[in-house]
């Protein structure tokens, strides 16, 4: 099966409950963001990585509440307060 190239807003779900969304595709690079179902899943996923500080551009972005609708999404996305 041939997979199509990633496109902005493509969403992937993993068996462990993680959700990954393509944020941008530019010059052959792909920027995504992931939402983990819990901190243990996050810790397991980044266990092989090395903490590299805080990204200043991301640090300046508003919190998730700025992206929420007034009405919770029908499927529950961004409808809970896990912060």
- Domain membership of residue 56 (yes or no) is no
- The answer to whether 7 and 22 have CB atoms below 8 angstroms apart is yes
Number of domains comprising the chain? 1
- What is residue 29's predicted lDDT score, i.e. its pLDDT? 96
Question: What is the chain's pLDDT, residue by residue, as a tens digit (83 residues)?
Answer: 568 999 999 999 999 999 999 999 999 999 999 999 999 999 999 999 999 999 898 889 888 888 777 665 555 555 444 44
Q: Cβ(25)–Cβ(37) under 8 Å?
A: no
What DSSP designation does 63 have?
P
pLDDT of residue 46: 93
Q: Is residue 74 part of a domain?
A: no
Q: Give me the phi and psi of 13, to 5 degrees please.
A: -120, 140
Would you say residue 19 lies in a domain? yes
- CA 16/CA 37 separation, integer angstroms: 8
Are the C-beta atoms of residues 44 and 57 closer than 8 Å to each other? Answer: no
User: What residues make up the domain containing 33?
Assistant: 1-46
């Amino acid at each position: 099966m041939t997979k199509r190239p990633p496109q902005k807003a493509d969403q992937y779900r993993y068996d462990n409950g993680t959700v990954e969304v393509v944020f941008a595709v530019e010059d052959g690079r792909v920027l995504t963001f992931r939402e983990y179902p819990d901190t243990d899943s996050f810790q397991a996923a980044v266990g092989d990585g090395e903490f590299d500080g805080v990204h200043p551009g991301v640090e300046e972005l508003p919190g998730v509440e700025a992206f929420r609708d007034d009405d919770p999404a029908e499927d529950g996305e961004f409808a809970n307060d896990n912060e």
